[in-house]
Structure 1
């Protein structure tokens, strides 16, 4: 009996396997590092959120930027900082998002049953993990 309960607790604590709900290419530039009022952004999640607001709401797009259906919704865009915080973060992704140069990235919206749980950001040059 104890063994069954122990195994059940471990299974309940294990994260569900995430799948790619959607992915898109984005170029992060200086416009994405400032909010809609012109103030500088230093949080990588906020920069990702501004990039999607620029794309969907303000029509500010870099060459190669791709659309996504998920973050066209303003309420869902508001979730981006939290989704990024729960994703696979490292010095590379934080650094390129907050850096001073334009950078191409691929964003993976990860979760299950069309419910996002986190975002992963990878280099657009193909030198990354690529996935959820």
Structure 2
């Protein structure tokens, strides 16, 4: 995608926040917006790769904070950080190396929490 098209997830996230603040939408819409935001922030947002290499961290462009760059080894390295429990501390360091990745990580975590809350919302009603 070129231009502003690669930043569509920020608009979806803004609509998600507005939907929670106004309480005008039901849990299905909130869950859909949360899922779209989660996919965007973790797998589509423009970011740097950040995988460890011989010359330090990789500065190639990647899509999403959980994806590596065009190099296959970097994609596997990022995938192993998520799956292998002993690497979670390193994953936490790599998700917050700069402001762009930190904002994307925080947005993704908020989108996941929003999805969980939208699933639980019918059990507690709209009063919370």
Q: Same fold (TM over 0.5)?
A: no
Name which structure has the greater RCO, CA cutoff 8 Å, separation 6+: 1
Give the number of the structure whose residues are more often strand, by fraction. 1
TM-score after normalising by structure 1 = 0.23
TM-score after normalising by structure 2 = 0.23
